[in-house]
Chains A and B, each alone.
Chain A
């Protein structure tokens, strides 16, 4: 029964990883940009909420409604003002710039918030759970995280397939030069994609901060989990990203069940196994070269 429990917890953890991975996948899908600062930006969102809560005493759940739009704006401006300029310079330029951004963010957070671990208090939901049997109980908080990730992916999927802007995003992802000739301003589309990506990763960062403690330096590890979820699921597939997150989550909790130190390692091993056997991921769509 404790194995079943490990799997259930892993599935729920997968929801959190999917939150981290969605934005990464979207940005890579639309503009072939690998954002190495993705993890650090999620931690920035968490610290931003800490600062808001410290300053105003606001409930973190309400503060979330400020942090998500704030990260959207940061993403939009970051892409429009900085990253758009790097896209013309080949694949290396955006990698280097986002790598630099990652280092800057970590150090600024360290300077402002010190190296102390912080946490966000989500209230009684953090500890309450639904008891299913003696061995299995589902925490409300992981369940809420999981549901949020499903709602988020559904909304994104619907927006991409049904709205004018969604079609513009897909057209630009497909062929940016032709999309431009159809009247689409791809600088704005890229900015919008980054805005959406950072809004989603703000959710991820805050949920992480409510689930566990965090410090300025943990961004890169989040980035790796996000990458693994994207690649396991397959590039360009939103629901694949959720499945990728779940596979990674289950691998980690089952690994930890075998031996407490094995969780992260097992996750990496499963990732490597997928990479070796299905390098395009479980749900990949064709990716433009």
Chain B
């Protein structure tokens, strides 16, 4: 079977707010799935459920066919699911290298030496190697986003979850980041990417899902999804 992540009828509410409502979704091995939807559609909640930092009220989450609904966040990381945050959260008091090393040494890596090798490799991939000894707290936004990506990659994930990683960047920076993410994809990582910057998303993903009010409204070919009347009405208002 080809799917790495499967959500089966997953619901999550916070008090009276229904963030996700009976959502089913699957991600195939090596696939890049884009997620769009207005603010509050439940996109980040979905990512947190897959990453294990939240647990669903109903439904199941499968990783490579195995039920991981109740596995802890660090357990998810060790399974090979890594995420980046919308607002980068580096360990500010540690250097860039140490930040990445933490991810590498507690992921699937074996020895300390191997972890260091992974960390150097990942920093080179995202273009942060020359900043390796800088304190992470002092990095500017683009570099924080790159670090966020590097740290997630250091755990050698099979599934990478990106939460609006292009948000807040200038146009040239977005293009640079897209190039980096395409490179990551070449290393056969499956990807779930939430993004408001649609052209960045379309440059990478194979399939697109649109969410609204915690439900899936359209799914399929990226261009077709963006052109669909459902997505147009959500983004541009009814009757558009």
Contacts and interface: CB of A to CB of B under 8 A. Distances in A.
Contact of A182 (B72, B92, B103, B112): B103
A259 to B, nearest CB: 44
Interface in B56-96: 72-74, 76-78, 82-83, 85, 89, 91-94
A182 B94 contact: no
B77 A183 contact: yes
Nearest to B99: A171
Of the candidates A173, A178, A179, the one having the most CB atoms from chain B within 10 angstroms of its own CB is: A178
Nearest to A186: B74
Interface in B121-156: 151, 154-155
A196 B78 CA distance: 26
A180 B106 CA distance: 10
A170 B155 contact: no
A168 B94 CA distance: 11
A128 to B, nearest CB: 43
Contacts of B83: 181
Interface string B33-45: 0000000000000
Contacts of B74: 180-186
Would you call the interface of chain B mostly helix, strand, loop, or mixed? helix
B89 A178 contact: yes
B149 to A, nearest CB: 13
Interface string A182-194: 1111100000000
B112 A183 contact: no
Contacts of B93: 170, 173-174, 285-286
A178 B72 CA distance: 13
A240 to B, nearest CB: 14
A61 B140 CA distance: 53
B103 A174 contact: no
A175 interface: yes
Given A167-B102, A168-B106, A183-B78, A178 B85 contact: yes
A234 to B, nearest CB: 14
A184 to B, nearest CB: 5
By size class, the interface of chain B is 20 to 34
Contacts of A179: 91, 102
Interface in A156-173: 164, 167-168, 170-171, 173
Contacts of B151: 182
Interface in B100-122: 101-103, 105-107, 112, 115
B31 interface: no
Contact of B53 (A171, A177, A286): A177
B90 to A, nearest CB: 8
Of the candidates A170, A173, A174, A181, the one having the most CB atoms from chain B within 10 angstroms of its own CB is: A181
A180 B103 CA distance: 10
B144 to A, nearest CB: 13
B105 A181 contact: no
Contact of B92 (A174, A180, A181, A183): A174
Interface in A253-274: none
A167 B105 contact: yes
B51 interface: yes
Contacts of A167: 94, 98, 101-102, 105
B89 A175 contact: yes
Given A171-B91, A178-B85, A181-B82, 14 more contacts: A167-B102, A168-B105, A168-B106, A170-B94, A175-B91, A177-B53, A177-B73, A178-B89, A179-B91, A180-B73, A181-B73, A181-B77, A182-B103, A182-B106
Interface of A: 164, 167-168, 170-171, 173-175, 177-186, 285-286
13 contacts: A167-B94, A167-B98, A167-B102, A167-B105, A168-B102, A180-B72, A180-B73, A180-B77, A181-B51, A181-B73, A182-B106, A183-B106, A286-B93
8 pairs of A and B residues whose beta carbons are closest in the complex: A183-B106, A183-B77, A174-B91, A180-B73, A182-B103, A171-B102, A164-B105, A178-B89
